[in-house]
A and B are shown apart, each in its own frame.
Chain A
Amino acid sequence: DIQMTQSPSSVSASVGDRVTITCRASQGISKWLAWYQQKPGKAPNLLIYGASTLQGGVPLRFTGSGSGTDFTLTINSLQPEDFATYFCQQAHLFPLTFGGGTKVEIK
């Protein structure tokens, strides 16, 4: 199975900050990676797929990069509505696997 390791598990930041979350796959997955945002009590929401393609309606302050085993989600100029938990997911091989999540909290 492909293990997805996310870091950090939590981060405290202020409105306007830049936040970077990393996701490492235990083997190469090309660009078969997605990022999701989840707010408390809600279903996850797709932000980025193909490692760097922004899903429709997602603000441009969200950017994704990487390929192979190392990936990054960057939130530029953090907004109040961005405080949430973020998950990466590999879509290269079954079983499909998620990272453990990164909680972005208000400093």
Chain B
Amino acid sequence: EVQLLESGGGLVQPGGSLRLSCAASGFTFSSYAMTWVRQAPGKGLEWVSSISASDDSTYYADSVKGRFTISRDNSKSTLYLQMNSLRAGDTAIYYCVKIVGNSWIFDYWGQGTLVTVSS
């Protein structure tokens, strides 16, 4: 059974940093690209960042480019999102998502971790 377990969310002041982690199990993690998607309270879904299976390609939404860094450790089956210079607009539930095959479609989602940026 595929499981994605996010951690690392919490309350942080504007300008602060957080590192999200996503522990994956139930599939060959190193074979799949992974993604972070976020959802602000009461709002729609927003793609944040994606990383290829081999870690050689990364992609970012303009809203987070230069502030967030996606990475992965295939030996630990873990996905990360380093978030710096956080803003109030980054407040959201952050979902770790597995990709279907070679497409950028999301077949398994974690339960999400809430990031709140507030003073």
Tally inter-chain residue pairs, CB-CB below 8 A: 56
| Interface residues of A, dominant DSSP | loop
- B47 near A96 with CB under 8 A, answer yes
Q: Digitize B53-82: 1 where CB-to-A-CB distance is under 8 Å, 0 elsewhere.
A: 000000101100000000000000000000
Closest 9 pairs between A and B when the two form their complex, measured CB to CB: A43-B109, A96-B47, A91-B104, A98-B45, A34-B105, A49-B105, A91-B105, A94-B59, A101-B44
Chain A residues within 8 Å of B50, by CB:
94, 96
CB contacts under 8 Å to B, within A28-50, are 32, 34, 36, 38, 43-46, 49-50
Chain A residue numbers with a CB within 8 Å of B118 are: none
Residues of chain A contacted by B107 (CB below 8 angstroms): 46, 49, 55
A residues near B (Cβ < 8 Å) are: 32, 34, 36, 38, 43-46, 49-50, 55, 87, 89, 91, 94-101
* Choice from A46, A50, A101 contacting B106 with Cβ under 8 Å: A46
